[in-house]
Amino acid sequence: MQRFACPAERSVGIDLLCGLERRRCLMLSPLTTPAMRDAAHALLAGDGVGVTVLRDSPGFVVQRVLAMIVNLACDIAQQGIASVEDIDQAVHLGLGYPHGPLEWGDRLGPRRLLSILQRLQTLTGDPRYRPSPWLRRRAQLGMSLRAGETAAVG
């Protein structure tokens, strides 16, 4: 198998976590040239969808924030502070999010979220990315984060 290697100055990252229909996130390496940045931006914005340009970091902004919110909701569920339904309802109504955190977690897949958190913890060494034991167990068993429902594949 031949491996494709692109010089760092011609490399960009595109966050595909939530699709490309409504938003586009373009991540640049410290060596990405302005010409490459502009070409990638023009390509992604060609259909009128807005593009956010981010600096290089482990993970993308949306992945980090969403994984942390879901992980915190898993901790709340594990501690019995609120029911799964109440956690989702509180965040949906209180913050105006389109979905509760555990619903987001199921849409993305507990295994995928576990992988994101583990990767962030490994890359950053930051203990705040340590996955909730509740999330870890459900991901390992292929269980939904919401009671009685089937989790997304991932």
Task: List the domains of the chain with CATH numbers.
Answer: 8-55 (no CATH), 61-141 (1.10.1040.50)
Q: Provide the 10 A C-beta neighbour count for residue 64.
A: 17
What is the tens place of the pLDDT at every residue in 118-144? 999 999 999 999 999 999 999 999 999
What is the tens place of the pLDDT at every residue in 21-51? 777 888 888 888 899 989 989 988 888 888 8
pTM over 0.95: no
pLDDT of residue 150: 45
- Whether the predicted pLDDT of 10 surpasses 80: no
Q: For residue 134, give the H/E element and its range.
A: helix 133-141
> Do residues 101 and 72 touch, judged by C-beta distance below 8 A?
yes
pLDDT of residue 84: 94
